[in-house]
Amino acid sequence: MVYIKILFQYILVFFVILIINFALPRIAPGDPAIYLVGDDIQYMSEEERLQVLKEFKLDLPVMQQFKNYITGIFKKDLGVSIIYGRPVWDILRDRLPWTFLIMGVAMLFSASIGIILGVIGAWKRGGRRDIGSLVIVMTLGSVPPFWVAMLLITLFSAKLHWFPSFGAYAIGAIPGTFAYFVSVLQRIILPVLTLTLVKTGAMFLTARSSMVIAMEEDYVMLAHAKGLKEKTVIFRHALRNAVLPIYTNIMMGLGAMVGGAAIIETVFSYPGLGNTIYESVTARDYSLLQGSFLVVSISILFFNFIADLGYPLLDPRVRKQTVGR
Amino acid sequence: MKILNLNKSEHRFRLVGILLVSFFLVTSVFAPVIAPYDPYERVGTPFERPCLEHILGCNDVGHDLFSELIYGGRVSLFIGLFASFYSTLVSSLLALAAGYYGGRTDRLIMRTVDVVMSLPFLPLVIVLGVFLGPGISTQIIVITTVMWAHPCRELRSQVMKIRESGYIDAARSMGERSIVTVFRHVLPELMPLIVPQFVRVVQQAIMIESSLSFLGLGDPVLKSWGSILFFANTRAAFLTGAWVNWVLPPGLCIAMTVLGFSFIGFSLGGRIGLSYYPFGSFILKRKKTSNDAPADDVRLSVNELVTVYNPVLNQCVAVNDVCFDVKKGEMLGLVGESGCGKSTIAMSVLGMLRYPAEISQGVIILDGKDLLSFSRQNFAKIRGRRIAYIPQNAMNALNPVVSIKKQLIEAVLTHQTISRAAAVERVREVLEMVEIPEDRINAFNHELSGGMKQRVVIAMALVNNPDFLIADEPTTGLDVLVQQEIVRLLVRLKQQLGLSILFITHDLPLVMTYSDKMAVMYQGEIVDSGSVDEVYYNSTHVHTKALFSSFPCLFEQKRWKRDAFLQEGQASLVLENVTKSFYSKRGLFAKGLKPVYAVKDVSLSVMPGEVVGLIGGSGSGKSTIARLVMGLETQDEGKIFINGLELAGKSRRMKQEILRDIHLVFQDPYQSMRSHMKIFDIVAEPLRIHGTRGRAEIDARVRNALREVSLPCDDGFLLRHPSELSGGQRQRLSFARAIVINPKFIIADEPTSMLDVSLRSGLLELMEKLRSDHGVGFVFITHDLALARHFCDRLLVLNDGSIIEQGESDDVVFSPVENYTKRLISAVEEPDLMKSSRALSV
């Protein structure tokens, strides 16, 4: 029952995303052909232009186009990229794992560091260490991520030559070998470090403020009255309840990072989804742009969906109510 | 209120934030004055190193980097501020619409928010930016488009909270137009929440702007901090030595500006929270007091206890020189009004006071051991084992995400080293003792009714077989019938287990009926104590005497006896077969759900000047009737006539006209008026709604109304805020607001239940005065049968939404017909000795 409702909502949102994705190039000002062949349009004759439109079935009625578009998506047909000359779907399939890799690792770090610091901060709040970590974390959170990335490259790549600042693996390394693994590891350190530095702040603040709220609840006071140790109360009662907003934040962060990593990937020339978006923008490769946008949207939707499925596990109040009122 | 108080860390954050932001604002505004060169002019050689003429050197085409930096702030701040202004505007308006009007509007807006929020943020900005073409206005539009959704969701939930407030209901029940209510009442309350949202959006907008510019998607002509970095990046400046002067400064500028805004936002959000002090962190500055060992049969002895709260300067004595003993198997009732220090005593005994509390004197001895000599750790070992605690407000006392079984087992295993199975066995035993059905053992807090929650909390207190139990208002907020069950359960357990109980309450009859000894507390001191008889007959203190006389006994002579009522003329209020149901959950598939009837087929009529009492337990539909009459809800079936006119189907103007004759006074005097309004405006509101415009007339009538309810009416008082008034004064103020338009009758929804006992009769006197002076009729809604019988001419007893019995007050009370009425009457705690003594005095 609860799940059906959630599923229904997601299907709705998915549909809206499809419509937006379909509509964007069509409602944009100017010639739709420009979105297909890029700036080369100016060298084309009128006939050639119409030919292009026909080729991409853009001369059909809008509803027919939309139908084609939808069926295309379910056939994994997102068009052909101009810069790569390959199907958009293949390109995205190659790149998505890299984004998930740096994103997942960075999330793991920032969430664990943020939560630990946040819980301690809330517990010892008002203390010198709490204020100190607040200031540090908020400062890091205010720094533009791409700038951090640039500085890290300056320091670790240009000056110290510790880590390469380009690509996801060494050129020529064979997947599966140890050398390949090391080269991958070397190249994710800086992006992950950047993301962790920048993203920990939000995690910390969420964890801290939800702990502050939870620690003032009546049940925490009763837990003390039971004679539990301070630590037990904090972790088993306060944190157990503060987990809910923290969890929401992590899941939303995961979704946002798929898109948010765009700039970081660009700076590190990392072959992920975000970089693909950037490339397609600079090269005016509209089918690639449309496709990446769609994939990013769907990943966000996917993480939100997972988050929603997880709620009933964490919070009995959301579970299907079978007993009582 | 001081805006900046540097002793608070919030305010220090705010100061730093304001300084940072204003620094960048000022430099941007005065950029032409400060910048040494025009940033768009070639003034140096490309890639020039920093020197005296060019502090930060030059970029690849010879533009002065320092000037670029100063001008760059203009673009970044301009876009940041405008984009956030627009998105805050959009989100506030939509949040107001969604939250206030609800229903379809709400669903439409919230679904849109869902969609926008599940769109990828940055890619969307990029994609929109590409399709709309670069430029400063595109950036503002794009940032607005993606940024409004999140604040809108947060603000909407706040609007919904505000909408539930009493003062919104009050405004609506006075016939205020909804649009006026939104802007007069909702928006001012929302404003403090809009500001931090705005600040938060600014910081994100600046970040997005710089990201966009950094990707080369900004306005290609303008120079912002982001685009300086874009050029630095494309010229690979960070791989050369130029990173110090080219890459570092713009990034620092962005970081510092954003940090400034986030400091401000953080401090406004009030998220720092007061410093946390663990339970038991009180200071012990104990003066030596008498060392007499208490007698053997005394379980707990508290001697000359003084507890003070000591916020740096104004020290406040909460408990002053309190002495009492509780013998084994004895129940001591501690009675007092709110704020008299009852709970502080409980916390002192439990060792759960928190800094800045301080015990400056006294001894607390439990079974011969001086508790105050215990360390915090050792105290925790006793707490829950030897002394158990039943807290006020059991509604939230259980952890909502852990099953009651686990919480109970935890309590056992903390103090006893037994196997888990044995612990489960013990838990079952104790749950049986408090009469919780076996199959509810795995239930969660939200699956239990109020009375059951209270039982579980009691079970938790008893699970380790304590000797001493502190019950702090264990029945407050429970239904009358449930209250009786719980207290009887406690008494039974006391006898069964030989418990000693400290029973803390404001409910005098309860204490007199059930406890062995009682103590009356007033302003931190115990003013009378002893056995119930002793206190009753030999009370010395004025307050105790006032307490005893403040509430009428159910069966004594009727206090307010009015002349026989002439039942003629047109009825002021008529309800004909009114039914109202709520659906427990409204959703996609919820249509088939069974409705819950709040009011079922209710008919009643009230004559002018009559006082009618609506009696019933919680959830019996009393308040729903009031809300239906006032047009706050719409009935499903049936008709409601006010002075012969029906409210339903009338235009707003007509409704206003009809509602003029009737006024609703709410239960909670703290909620029903907005704390930020001046007293004058509060009382003048009904006049204003009903079209009185002349300043002099309003002024005169407001003062008159205040005089009627015995509140001051000087200019100074009129300009004060209700937050400066006490609960009793606030409730008088709500009556002033009621009578200022001379209504024909007033619906008073539990007007006394939030007030201390000693204030209740004063308020009823006031109501009686209004009745006799102005001929105002009353519909008096209450759960307090005794009060209702004395005050009302006629009583209507409600149960599960239907009127089950009605008649003259005395007839209903003395010769009830229905079972439920009988149960209600028997649940009224009537201390025997009071009954007899009052009977004597009659």
Name the residue type at position B388: A
Give chain B's end-to-end CA distance (angstroms, integer): 54
pLDDT tens digits, one per residue of B402-430: 888 999 999 999 888 899 999 999 999 88
Do the chains contact at B396 and A218, CB–CB below 8 Å? yes
| Cβ contact B239–A218 (<8 Å) | no
Evaluate whether B353 touches B280 at the Cβ level (below 8 Å).
Answer: yes
C-beta of residue A68 within 8 angstroms of C-beta of residue B171: no
Calpha distance B170→B630 (Å, rounded): 10
- Please name the residues in contact with B13: beta carbons below 8 A apart, sequence gap of 6 or more: B263, B264, B266, B267, B272
B145-194: pLDDT as tens digits:
888 888 898 888 888 888 888 888 888 888 888 888 888 889 888 888 88
Of A4, A138, A296, the CB nearest to B120: A296
Pairing of strands B573-583, B595-606: antiparallel
Average pLDDT, chain B: 83
For residue B806, which of B789, B793, B794 has the smallest C-alpha distance?
B794
Q: What residues in B contact A28, CB-CB < 8 Å?
A: 131-132
- A contacts of B414 (beta carbons < 8 Å): 226-229, 232
Segment among B140-144, B281-285, B321-325 with least mean pLDDT: B281-285
- B107 burial level (CB within 10 Å; 0-12, 13-18, 19+): exposed
Strand pairing category for B283-287 and B357-366: parallel
Contacts of B613 (CB under 8 A, 6+ apart): B780, B781, B782, B788, B789, B791, B792, B794, B795, B796, B809
Does residue B552 register a pLDDT over 60? Answer: yes
**pLDDT band at B242, cuts 50/70/90?**
confident
Assess contact for B782 and B750: CB atoms under 8 A. yes
**DSSP 8-state class, residue B184:** I
- pLDDT band at B89; cut points 50, 70, 90: very high
Interface test with A, best of B11, B15, B126, B458 (most A CBs within 10 A): B126
Q: Do A259 and B262 touch (CB under 8 A)?
A: no
Helix (H), strand (E) at residue B52:
none
Strands B637-642 and B645-646: antiparallel
Chain B's closest residue to A300, CA to CA, is: B118
Distance from CA of A83 to the nearest CA of B (A): 17
A302 to chain B, closest Cα gap in Å? 10
Strand partners, B531: B517
Q: Where are the alpha helices (DSSP H) in B498-621?
A: 508-514, 532-538, 542-550
pLDDT confidence of residue B1: 39
CB B789 within 8 A of CB B809: yes
Could you tell me if B564 and B774 are in contact, meaning their C-beta atoms sit under 8 angstroms apart? Answer: no
CB contact under 8 Å between A125 and B397, yes or no, is no
Residue B758: which residues within 8 A CB-CB, separation 6 or more? B337, B543, B546, B547, B550
Residues of B whose CB is below 8 A from A138 = 259, 262-263, 266
pLDDT-derived band at B311, boundaries 50, 70, 90: low
pLDDT single digits (tens) B693-703: 888 899 999 99
Set of chain B residues whose Cβ sits within 8 Å of the Cβ of A123: 276
Residue B284: pLDDT over 60: yes
Number of other residues whose CB lies within 10 A of the CB of residue B577: 12
Residue-wise pLDDT for B759-798, tens only, equals: 788 888 888 888 888 888 899 998 888 888 888 888 999 9
Question: Taking CA atoms, what residue in A is nearest to B379?
Answer: A227
Q: Which residues lie across from B363 on neighbouring strands?
A: B303
HSE toward the beta carbon, residue B803, CA cutoff 13 A = 20
State the smallest CA–CA distance between residue A175 and chain B in angstroms. 30
Q: How far apart are CA A92 and CA A71, in angstroms?
A: 18
Q: What is the pLDDT of residue B500?
A: 92
Kindly report each contact of residues B370-378 with a partner whose C-beta sits within 8 Å and lies 24 or more positions away, as own/partner.
Answer: B372/B284, B372/B286, B376/B278, B376/B280, B376/B281, B376/B351
Token digits of residue A13: 């949102």
- B101 class by beta-carbon count within 10 Å (0-12 exposed, 13-18 middle, 19+ buried): middle
Which residues is B646 bridged to in the sheet? B641
Query: Reduced to 3 states, what is the DSSP secondary structure of residue B211?
Result: helix
Per-residue model confidence as pLDDT tens digits over B796-829? 999 888 898 888 888 888 888 888 888 888 888 7
* CA gap B166, B670 in Å, rounded: 8
Percentage of residues in chain B having pLDDT higher than 70: 93
User: Residue B7 has what pLDDT?
Assistant: 60
Contact call for B123 and A219, based on CB within 8 A: no
**B591 in A contact zone (CB under 8 Å):** no
Least confident segment among A198-202, B32-36, B222-226, B806-810:
B32-36
Cβ distance B259 to A139 less than 8 Å, yes or no, reads yes
Q: Is the peptide bond before B712 cis (omega within 30 degrees of 0)?
A: no
- CATH numbers and ranges of domains, chain A: 94-323 (1.10.3720.10)
Q: Find the DSSP H helices in B285-419.
A: 342-350, 376-382, 404-415
Q: What is residue B537's predicted lDDT score, i.e. its pLDDT?
A: 83
Q: Which of A198, A211, A219 is the best residue to mutate to test the B interface, defined by the most B CB atoms within 10 Å of its own CB?
A: A219
